[in-house]
Amino acid sequence: MKVLGIETSCDETGVAIYDTEQGLIANQLYTQIALHADYGGVVPELASRDHIRKTTPLIQSALKEANLAADEIDGIAYTAGPGLVGALLVGSTIARSLAYAWNVPAVGVHHMEGHLLAPMLEQPENRPHFPFIALLVSGGHTQLVKVDGIGKYEVMGESIDDAAGETFDKTAKLLGLDYPGGAALSRLAEKGTAGRFVFPKPMTDRPGLDFSFSGLKTAAANTINQSIKAEGELTEQTKADIAHAFQTAVVETLAIKCKRALKETGYKSLVIAGGVSANKQLRQGLAELMSELGGHVFYPAPQFCTDNGAMIAYIGALRLQNGEHSDLAIDVKPRWAMTDLPAI
Query: Is 125 exposed, middle or buried (CB count within 10 Å of its CB: 0-12, 13-18, 19+)?
Result: exposed
Q: Is beta strand 152-158 parallel, antiparallel or unpaired with respect to 2-7? A: unpaired
In contact, 167 and 218? CB cutoff 8 Å: no
Q: Is 139 annotated as a binding residue?
A: yes
Contact present, 107 and 77 (Cβ < 8 Å): yes
The four Cα atoms 165, 52, 23, 115 give a dihedral, to 10 degrees, of: 20
> Using CB atoms within 10 A of its CB, is residue 67 exposed (0-12), middle (13-18) or buried (19+)?
exposed
The verdict on whether residue 157 carries a ligand-binding annotation is no
Cα separation, 185 vs 178, whole angstroms: 9
Q: Does residue 182 have a known ligand-binding role?
A: yes
SS3 87: helix
Closest CA to 82 of 32, 18, 178, 7: 7
Classified as helix, coil or strand, 191 is coil
* Strand, coil or helix: 197: coil
List, as one string, the DSSP characters of 249-260. Answer: HHHHHHHHHHHH
Q: Does the annotation list 111 as a binding residue?
A: yes
d(CA 38, CA 197): 31
138 annotated as a binding-site residue: yes
The answer to whether 169 is annotated as binding is yes
Instruction: Judge contact between 217 and 162, C-beta under 8 A.
Output: yes
Instruction: Tell whether residue 92 is among the known ligand binding residues.
Output: no
User: Using alpha carbons only, how large is the chain's radius of gyration in Å?
Assistant: 20
Which residues are known binding-site members for Fe cation? 111, 115, 307
Residue numbering of the annotated binding site for substrate: 136-140, 169, 182, 279
The annotation places the binding site at 111, 115, 136-140, 169, 182, 279, 307
